[in-house]
Amino acid sequence: MSINAIKPFVCINCGHRVRELYKKYSNTLKTTHCDKCHQITDKYIEFEEFIILIDALLLDSCAFRHIIYNGNFKIHWKVFFVVLLLESFALCRYKHDSGRIASSHLHERGFYMCTIQNIGDA
């Protein structure tokens, strides 16, 4: 049984299901193109995991599609944790700038409350 039958792949650009992400010719890989959007199916198969994580932290939907559907990541919880902390910090700064959180609560209690709120919203 091939790996394609076990785990279906998707195009990271449009989300369309595809049979394969690349074709292997002797020692080289050739990326495939999506039948629907005609773009490279998954450009991230040639990237280092660190670059993919940076794109995920920048909230690139293509990077998330690669991680969830096509990637062989074993660190999903780390990505979730980093995105949660960044989102909590952004929410805390927004509340501080709009006057909902006093300056003295910004560093500790406000951040913790925003983190709890983000966990509840997820």
Give the single-character DSSP code of 65. H
- How far apart (Å, rounded) are the C-alpha atoms in residues 3 and 106? 49
Look at residue 96 in the predicted model and tell me its pLDDT. Answer: 72
For the chain, the domains span 3-70, 76-121
pTM of the full structure: 0.58
Mean pLDDT of 61-87: 81
Q: Of 29, 33, 49, nearest to 41 (Cα)?
A: 33
Quick: pLDDT tens for 35-54.
999 999 999 988 888 888 88
